[in-house]
Structure 1
Amino acid sequence: MRPADLNRLTVQESADRYVELIRAKTLTGALSTATAEVYARDVATFVLLAGEEKVLDDLTGEDVDAILLAFARKPDGRRAEPDGGLQSASSQARFRRSISALFKHATLTGWVQINPMALATVTAKERGGLRPERRALTREQAQGLIGAARDLSDGQGQGAIRGAPAEADPASGSVSGSVSVSGAGRSRRRDQRTEVRDALIVLLLSTMGPRVSELVRANVEDFYTNDGVRYWRIFGKGGKTRDVPLPDDVARVLEVYLARGRDQSPDKALLLSWRGKRLARGDVQAVIDRVQRQVDPDRRRSVTPHGLRHTTATHLLADAVDMDAVRRVLGHSDLATLGRYRDELPGELEVAMRAHPLLRRPSGDR
């Protein structure tokens, strides 16, 4: 028998009340506006998948399983694939957290008797498989992506510095050869001159592993030089900052971008859209996909910005870089968190066992 105080709200009614509550939390600072909107978007998707007229308390663990699997198969409109691509593992995990928070609140307020999330049986493998979108790129794949980014910056930036001539294709309006950005500006629309910016985005993500929010939040003034070394002051989660030195190649592309590739704009953002406004988080995936199309198909694999964060951590650690240094680069508060970003690489166990430290002969032995 249901308790007398159970409130049998429909899915739509409970969602509306819950979204109103989380948006109210932004006024007190308990939640950021961006986080509240993510929750609201996921709850709206939950309503569509569950059925707005259903009573929330009538949903079972099996219903939750079906909703999670339906979301996993739902095309992701942000992806560049023709069918939109399926939801990434990170999106599935975020969606699960969002509806779990909804049911937790519903349990406390008497909208449901039993939290059906506790009865859900869908496993991580069913929801996301091996997480190919978030898994670190192999060394060959990462080098292919970085090489494509370098080619973009060399063609559009280095040619500008060297003053190399540009050859225009009268049929397409494109420019070939070593092209200066200023030269390209006479033959290409402003929204087509983003090569150096795109190269910088891919290089920063691949070699330094910032969160995508940290990347789009960066301002020109956050990059400074100290004793001949270029640093990026990254404003991370919880108001914490970290100063990370840029690899020399990345610093050179940054200089080209600031000198030649970034349009003059009153906006202090480092990364600008072709309209001269701060680049949005959702635009970053499109940039990666655009650069990926320049990679040899044998070395190409779809990857998200967070997958490139995994790539940074995995390859720094695989190359025996000090774990605490890697933690500081990524902005983690403790080493335990770093462990989740260390992905397996093909062949690494074989290499490790071939170079086993206990089997090395002393230097005096023959």
Structure 2
Amino acid sequence: MRPIDVERVSVGESVDRYVEMVRAKTVTGALAPGTAEVYARDAVTFAALAGADRVLDDLSGEDVDAVLLRFARKPDGRRSGAVGVAPGGAVQSAASQARFRRSVSALFQYAVVAGWVQLNPMDAVTVRPRHRGGLRAERRALTVEQAEGLLGAARGLADPGAGVGVGRRSDQRTELRDGLIVLLLAAVGPRVSELTRANVEDFFVNGGTRYWRVFGKGGRTRDVPLPGPVVEVLDVYLAEGRGLLDRGREPKALLLSWRGRRLARGDVQGVIDRVLARVEPGRRRSVTPHGLRHTTATHLLAAATDMDAVRRVLGHADLATLGRYRDELPGELEAAMRVHPLLGPVSGRGGMSDPAEFGGLGEAVVPDAVGGEGEGGGGERDDEGASEVVAGAPAPGGEGGGDDDAHEGGAAFE
């Protein structure tokens, strides 16, 4: 494009037009609503950090570098006040930084096509993601003791004799809802968007077993059987808790805020933290929704559950993806070597114990026939809505702010 054809629009105006275009793509199905919102949110954040009154074409690679670094230092409001997080100590995670960078790249790729910039400044950006191994503490799987403590606290919220919520208005009581959220996250391991999109009608009985029909990424669906303790809390919530929160605004939504609206993805972390506060300190550890997804995968696989069944429970298209959700458990290597297939029983000093089983959820969670998984959709990442493309750029990922979304291993800026 010739320089004279460039339209000198401000950063704020270009972002407004871009956001309108991104949201319009949801009408045609080119973008999932969740993905469009991630692009839109990151574009608005970019405008605030870069300066909405500046001309977009005047931004250089150095200017974009500065924006990326400002975002990296920006406090993560979702984690402020969370259990185990010091005041002011929660900044943007490596995964959130990588997601934001992809969103900015998508914005500028569209700006080139729209004629708002002569050259894409992302080509001159020097702040680039560097992939690192390991997970943040909040995203590692909980140990058996930690998971049992959290599950016990969640189930206790449904106990009528627990005395929770005393002093609060009856139509603002969210304890049953909070307990159900944590049980579903820890037992079934859904993505946050799958949880908040759930409707009451998605839960049904077949052959005496209660199922949750989960609507996942890429248009895929899966029917996941629910453990007995989860069903018990679900039934109590549907019979008593949901009706208190229902204001007639969201007749289908399973999870409602105390104002009667569908619960937002960004609110789920606060729910987990409230339940965590009820766990005894010795078994309490900060965890994100995605960390509970790791917990589900890790303990199901540690209990020798069929890998393909675990894959279908989590909603992955590729079995190889499970490797990213399988965290190491204390003592599992010793237990594996205790009876060697070539040497027979192996004795060692101090004795090797069997790995602890994932407790607190009753009978086996996954029968062989976990059915209902549909066809379709997109490359398998665990980024929320990461299978779509805008203006030729890879989708940013980003479960409600990127915590559970650009996949771990993450990208820290050099």
TM-score, scaled relative to structure 1: 0.78
Residue 129 of structure 2, aligned match among 115, 123, 127:
123
Partner residue of 1:229?
A: 209
Which letter does structure 1 place at the counterpart of 2:67? I
Deviation digits for residues 131-160 of structure 1, max 9, x if unmatched?
33333323332222112112222x33xx4x
| Separation in structure 2 between the aligned mates of residue 129 and residue 8 of structure 1, nearest angstrom | 44
* Secondary structure, aligned partner of 2:155: helix
Residues 194 and 109 (structure 1), Cα distance of their counterparts in 2 relative to 1, 3 Å cut:
closer
| Separation in structure 1 between the aligned mates of residue 120 and residue 242 of structure 2, nearest angstrom | 55
Report if aligned partners of 2:68, 2:127 keep a CA contact under 8 Å in 1.
Answer: no
Partner residue of 2:176?
A: 196
Which runs of no fewer than 5 residues in structure 2 stay unpaired?
A: 82-86, 347-414
Partner residue of 1:105?
A: 110
Partner residue of 2:299?
A: 315
Instruction: Work out which of the two has the higher radius of gyration on C-alpha atoms and give 1 or 2.
Output: 1
Which letter does structure 2 place at the counterpart of 1:145? L
The alpha carbon displacement at 1:90 in A equals: 4.2
The alpha carbon displacement at 1:292 in A equals: 0.8
Which letter does structure 1 place at the counterpart of 2:284? R
Q: Which moved more, 1:102-111 or 1:293-302?
A: 102-111
Report if aligned partners of 1:56, 1:112 keep a CA contact under 8 Å in 2.
Answer: no
* Secondary structure, aligned partner of 1:78: helix
Deviation digits for residues 22-68 of structure 1, max 9, x if unmatched?
23323433224443333122111112222335554554555444433
The reply to whether residue 289 of structure 1 matches residue 273 of structure 2 is yes
Please give the root-mean-square deviation of Cα atoms over the aligned residues, in Å.
3.2
| Separation in structure 2 between the aligned mates of residue 222 and residue 71 of structure 1, nearest angstrom | 38
Which letter does structure 1 place at the counterpart of 2:203? F
| Separation in structure 2 between the aligned mates of residue 207 and residue 105 of structure 1, nearest angstrom | 41
* Secondary structure, aligned partner of 1:231: strand
The reply to whether residue 132 of structure 1 matches residue 137 of structure 2 is yes
Report if aligned partners of 1:263, 1:276 keep a CA contact under 8 Å in 2.
Answer: no
| Separation in structure 2 between the aligned mates of residue 63 and residue 355 of structure 1, nearest angstrom | 60
For residues 1-366 of structure 1, the aligned pairs below 5 Å read: 5=5, 9-57=9-57, 59-81=59-81, 82-83=87-88, 85-109=90-114, 111-116=117-122, 119-124=125-130, 130-153=135-158, 155-156=159-160, 159=161, 178-179=162-163, 188-263=168-243, 265=246, 266=248, 267-361=251-345
Report if aligned partners of 1:64, 1:117 keep a CA contact under 8 Å in 2.
Answer: no
| Separation in structure 1 between the aligned mates of residue 149 and residue 71 of structure 2, nearest angstrom | 32
| Separation in structure 2 between the aligned mates of residue 216 and residue 326 of structure 1, nearest angstrom | 21
Residues 69 and 359 (structure 1), Cα distance of their counterparts in 2 relative to 1, 3 Å cut:
farther
| Separation in structure 2 between the aligned mates of residue 215 and residue 353 of structure 1, nearest angstrom | 38
TM-score, scaled relative to structure 2: 0.70
| Separation in structure 2 between the aligned mates of residue 195 and residue 131 of structure 1, nearest angstrom | 28
| Separation in structure 1 between the aligned mates of residue 75 and residue 8 of structure 2, nearest angstrom | 32
Higher RCO (CA 8 Å, separation ≥ 6 residues): 2
Which runs of no fewer than 5 residues in structure 1 stay unpaired?
A: 160-177
| Separation in structure 2 between the aligned mates of residue 291 and residue 146 of structure 1, nearest angstrom | 9
The alpha carbon displacement at 1:256 in A equals: 2.3
Residues 51 and 333 (structure 1), Cα distance of their counterparts in 2 relative to 1, 3 Å cut:
same
* Secondary structure, aligned partner of 1:137: coil
* Secondary structure, aligned partner of 2:77: coil
Counting aligned pairs with the same residue, the percent is 70
Partner residue of 2:410?
A: none
Q: Which moved more, 1:24-33 or 1:299-308?
A: 24-33
Partner residue of 2:386?
A: none
Deviation digits for residues 164-210 of structure 1, max 9, x if unmatched?
xxxxxxxxxxxxxx45x9xx78x641255222221111000011011
The alpha carbon displacement at 1:248 in A equals: 1.5
* Secondary structure, aligned partner of 1:113: coil
Report if aligned partners of 1:89, 1:131 keep a CA contact under 8 Å in 2.
Answer: no
Report if aligned partners of 2:60, 2:124 keep a CA contact under 8 Å in 1.
Answer: no
Report if aligned partners of 1:72, 1:86 keep a CA contact under 8 Å in 2.
Answer: yes
Report if aligned partners of 2:80, 2:90 keep a CA contact under 8 Å in 1.
Answer: yes
Report if aligned partners of 2:105, 2:122 keep a CA contact under 8 Å in 1.
Answer: no
Deviation digits for residues 41-99 of structure 1, max 9, x if unmatched?
21111122223355545545554444333212211223341448323444333322211
Which letter does structure 2 place at the counterpart of 1:259? A
Report if aligned partners of 1:223, 1:230 keep a CA contact under 8 Å in 2.
Answer: yes
Report if aligned partners of 2:76, 2:92 keep a CA contact under 8 Å in 1.
Answer: yes
